[in-house]
Amino acid sequence: MNEKKVAVVAIGGNSLIRDPQHQTVEDQEEALRDTAHHLADMIEAGWDLAIGHGNGPQVGFILRRSEIAHKTEGMHEVPLDVCGADTQGAIGYELQQALQNELYHRGIHKNVATIVTQVLVDKADPAFAAPSKPIGGFMDAAEAEHRRTDMGWSVVEDAGRGWRRVVPSPQPKEIVELDSIKAVLDDGIEVIAVGGGGIPVIDTGEGEYRGIAAVIDKDFACSLLAREIKADLFLIATAVEKVAVNFGTPAQHGVDRMSLAEARALLAEGTHFARGSMAPKIQAIIWYLEAGGTAALITDPRNIGRALRGETGTWITRDGGTP
């Protein structure tokens, strides 16, 4: 491992919104203060951090406010890519303040910065032909048809509850601000980047980027970042203390160590990891290790310290051994 230890930490939605009764900005700030405490433990132990975060609920809030304001006051609606940028700024602000304050109280003289990050996606990605990610509020059939016909939206009927817009979830190809992220890390500054998976942009073919309505998986984007900066550790902080196999069955049990080959095999079976939660996390780690990554760890925020000491969490390495 290099003398300078760099970890990419992907923090999930549970680090921002713990439950449906705690969704206000103040609630999020309190949750982020708890997360910042655990991140500061890593910094105190000698790690430099590049931190990614989820933003699904926050984007949903902005879209809902935008829809209501449009209907009641005739205000313009906010495009999805701009919603992503808004959440990167707001959540980045809350997290960098919480982490900066925690470091100050520990006497650690480190700066924290947020980089609003664009992530390039391919216009030919198959996801654009099959939009599947629901966003925004529910619509009746008439409004859905108007949006589909006049605005080019893809809409689907959602289990009898109404119609919703769906957008594609393409693969991240390139982090546009990568050099800036590297420069900040090289200066010893803790960085918050690729928030919400990054703002999806496409190359127009004329040397310009343009935002596009899509959602990039946060763990996939953090995996790409970990590969590009050659991080010593890829840590996914989520809602569970460790990964479970045979999930939801009497044979369910937690896993302490897993090799790259075992991770590939379990993911391929398709029965161990839920598609919308653990499966993308395992896939993100597989890509990181296949590209030469050293070690990956999955645990919940409050157990990060214990997991780094080998006391809990699920470690995934190329050979399944202790990193």
Give catalytic residue positions. Answer: 13-14, 133, 218, 281
Sequential DSSP letters for 178-202: HHHHHHHHHTT-EEE-SGGG-EEEE
**Is the CB of residue 50 less than 8 Å from the CB of residue 6?**
yes
Could you list the beta-strand ranges (E) of the chain: 5-11, 47-53, 112-114, 118-120, 133-139, 154-157, 163-167, 174-175, 190-192, 199-203, 209-211, 233-237, 244-245, 253-254, 257-259, 295-299, 314-317
How many angstroms separate the CA atoms of 284 and 3, rounded?
25
Within 8 A by CB and 6+ apart from 28, the residues are 16, 17, 91, 94
Sequential DSSP letters for 246-267: STTSTT-EE-SEEEHHHHHHHH
